[in-house]
Structure 1
Amino acid sequence: MEIFEVGPCNSSYEMGYLIGERFSSLIKSRLAADLILQTQLRPYAKTHLAEPLIDSLTENNRSKFPRYWDELVGIAEGSGVPVLDVQDHEPGFALYACVIFSYCCRIALFWVAYEVFLFFFFYSLNVQIILINFRKEILAFMPKNEGANIPEDTPDDCSTILVVSRSMAIAAHNEDANIALVGHTYLIQANLGNGLSFTAYTYAGELPSCAFGFNSHGLAFTLNSVPPREDEIVAGGIGRNFISRDLLEATSSSDALKKIQSSEVSIGHSYNLIDISKRNILNIETASRNRFSVYEVYATPFFHANMYLHLQVPQIQDENSSSRQKRAAALPQESKEDFLSLLGDIDDKRYPIYMSGPTLYTLCTAVFDLDGPTLSIIEGNPKEGKVTRSFHM
């Protein structure tokens, strides 16, 4: 697992560009291997149905987080991912852009022409990068292709166990994802030049981090997806990648909570928020329309798969998640070794807690020890406890 140290930079765009440039081959490989992107997101992005959704996601997230949007544009440009060809847009898209631009220039409305240019530039710029960063916010609203011979999207089936007792304070987390992500991740260590730095486990081509990370203010997090029902989601809201990127710059746990609670999310998510100085762990479940619930973890271990546990939101029933939840409840949870054994459990052959394909794969296990304080990253089954990266937080 490669680590890239970046910053301080003169701009967010520069930081993104350097990340994209450094991991260009990895980003291109991930995009090519991502069947959900190639068979679902890209074809859908060409349709008139997708245009208002992608436009609203772009405008709302760029307006709320302009620095992170610039960072994302930098990642796209630095990676050298080709801009989609004309055939990847709606019919007549390029011609329409040229006509408007030419007309504005002829009547001397140069500032309008410039704005038109920027609009079409941003819309067409490395659309694949935009699509993977809004993957969940787009897939949730796509028409269901019943019987179509295309791969189904899989939830980001992460499993997390948390405890804060007199003897230990630990957050242990399996980072699970589609098998296309295997070999397509890296660690970013960023120095922002304002006294803040962060370390984030990052999916190739995406903002840091949709997985886990920590910063120099002693704050850390891991994430779990949750599945609100279709009538509980809102199109064009704030993307999860942008919210978690913002968490990496939180100055305190109260600041982090404010960022989560005011996020105006499109779909649901679960945040495991770790405050090292307070020796405190919170689980925050969110849903659209600014709904959230906060659960503080104490001495009783708290296991979270991918279902709402305390926020009262109608949700899609996921057998994978409920099976892992039941299995975890049956396993010992008395020590750190028990937690690692639990996260490495493969007893349920259909829905194991530790996943090894064919579709879902445990990329790594992150162990946050608040009494170290350390972050240990384990690649391979955590039962074996072979740490490949360790950081003092």
Structure 2
Amino acid sequence: MGFLIGNRFSDTIRRRLEQDMVLRHHLLPFAQAPQTKPLIEAICNNNKAKYPSHWDELMGIVDGSQAPLLEIIVLNFRREILSCIQDEASIVDCTDECSDVLVVSDSLALAAHNEDALFGLSGYTYLIKAKLQNGIRFIAYSHAGELPSRAFSFNSNGLAFTMNAVRPVNDEIDPRAIGRNFLSRDLLESTSFEDAIARIRSAEISLGHNYNVIDVQTRRIASVEIASKFRVSVHEVGATPFFHANMYSHLQNIKQIIDENSTSRKRRADVMPKESKDDFLCVLGDAENKSFPIYMKGPKLYTMCSVLIDLDEQTLSIFRGNPKNKEITHVFSLQELKEQSQV
């Protein structure tokens, strides 16, 4: 599959590699330095040992796109490597942002997500619809050159995932451990809600992440926060709407960077109505705080798209522009994807 992805999107992947200034000016010089070769080798070896088939898929992206091997490797371990070469303040300047609002009540079961990133990443994403050798089908919104998907996805077992970056301080990070992209890719093969949680627990993650696990068949949503050394917290979402930005919310005893962008978004979301699907879209589209809006329009950070997963309708809808305007570009039926996997 990796070769097919690389070949199909080769131009997009190579353009991203050429235009990514953080990659060119920071990541590559660091990775190419003789003294950091043992670190890069350790990162690669540990992830290859844990996920050999996903590693082969990554090598397929390299071969299919004809992109430089080191550049694809560094791109897929972007945040892990950034933690080694930057102080805590500058990590905030170079990473991505996202927002989620989640609820499971008697009348409403929704997961709403803004996919935010540096403005320069705009135009370097794509949707992948694939069938794996084990019969599982998935649809994933992916960043060019990276394993699917560190953004959002769902599979034919009725499981969907959204993700948010979190920012532990450098002392909390093990850069040689498992990269977030490899765990995100592994989740696409989850067979159940419990299996997805188990896959997260089994990964000795490098720096931390927030994975939202959504099971449309059992009508369950969990916000899972992880950190290095197998630290995991699972918060099952109920009738009280739950907003997550880019800070740890429920994993205890973790030192993290205090991010005014995240705290401001959360304060605003907490006071907004969340009684209907339209309310959730209004939360994602809110820009009242001009300095730290939930819906981002640049100049630095940009909401590339928004997604709404309706567990009762079993649909995933992607919105272009401000989701309050309800301009839907794609609607996917999770039931149809399940039926296709049985053919």
Task: Decide: shared fold, TM above 0.5.
Answer: yes
Matched, 1:199 2:185: no
Count of matched residue pairs: 333
List alignment gaps of at least 5 residues for structure 1.
1-14, 84-125
Report what 2:150 is aligned to: 210
Report what 1:270 is aligned to: 210
1:337-371 residue CA offsets vs partner (Å, 9 max, x unmatched):
11111111111111110011111111100110001
Equivalent of residue 221 in structure 2, options 268, 274, 281: 281
Report what 2:322 is aligned to: 381
Q: 1:367 to 1:175 in 2, by over 3 A?
A: same
Report what 2:82 is aligned to: 139
User: 2 CA distance for matches of 1:264 and 1:372?
Assistant: 35
Report what 1:371 is aligned to: 312
Does the Cα contact within 8 Å between 2:88 and 2:169 map onto a contact in 1?
no
Equivalent of residue 73 in structure 1, options 50, 59, 65: 59
Matched, 1:29 2:32: no
Report what 1:20 is aligned to: 6
**TM-score w.r.t. length of structure 1:** 0.82
Report what 1:54 is aligned to: 40
Report what 1:337 is aligned to: 278
Does the Cα contact within 8 Å between 1:36 and 1:152 map onto a contact in 2?
no
Report what 2:163 is aligned to: 223
Report what 1:251 is aligned to: 191
Report what 1:154 is aligned to: 94
Code of the aligned partner of 1:135:
R
User: 1 CA distance for matches of 2:121 and 2:211?
Assistant: 21
* Runs of 4+ more than 2 Å apart: 143-146, 150-155
Structure 1 window deviating more from structure 2 (68-77 vs 41-50): it is: 41-50
**TM-score w.r.t. length of structure 2:** 0.94
Does the Cα contact within 8 Å between 1:273 and 1:283 map onto a contact in 2?
yes
1:257-312 residue CA offsets vs partner (Å, 9 max, x unmatched):
11101110010101110011110000010000000111011111000001111101
Aligned to 2:74, the other structure's residue is in SS state: helix
Matched, 1:348 2:289: yes
Does the Cα contact within 8 Å between 1:274 and 1:281 map onto a contact in 2?
yes
Deviation for aligned residue 1:184: 0.7
Aligned to 1:171, the other structure's residue is in SS state: strand
Matched, 1:233 2:173: yes
Structure 1 window deviating more from structure 2 (44-53 vs 34-43): it is: 44-53
Deviation for aligned residue 1:235: 2.2
Does the Cα contact within 8 Å between 1:53 and 1:138 map onto a contact in 2?
no
Does the Cα contact within 8 Å between 2:83 and 2:91 map onto a contact in 1?
no
Deviation for aligned residue 1:31: 1.1
Does the Cα contact within 8 Å between 2:22 and 2:94 map onto a contact in 1?
no
Code of the aligned partner of 2:316:
L
Aligned to 1:18, the other structure's residue is in SS state: helix
Report what 2:337 is aligned to: none
List alignment gaps of at least 5 residues for structure 2.
335-343
Does the Cα contact within 8 Å between 2:46 and 2:177 map onto a contact in 1?
yes
Does the Cα contact within 8 Å between 2:158 and 2:215 map onto a contact in 1?
yes
Does the Cα contact within 8 Å between 1:364 and 1:379 map onto a contact in 2?
yes
RMSD: 1.5
Report what 1:116 is aligned to: none
User: 1 CA distance for matches of 2:203 and 2:133?
Assistant: 25
Equivalent of residue 317 in structure 1, options 239, 258, 261: 258
Code of the aligned partner of 1:305:
A
Code of the aligned partner of 2:131:
N
Code of the aligned partner of 1:70:
D
Equivalent of residue 358 in structure 1, options 299, 304, 312: 299
User: 2 CA distance for matches of 1:249 and 1:212?
Assistant: 14
User: 1 CA distance for matches of 2:82 and 2:113?
Assistant: 25
Deviation for aligned residue 1:194: 2.5
Q: Give 1 or 2 for the bigger CA radius of gyration.
A: 1
Q: Percent identity?
A: 55
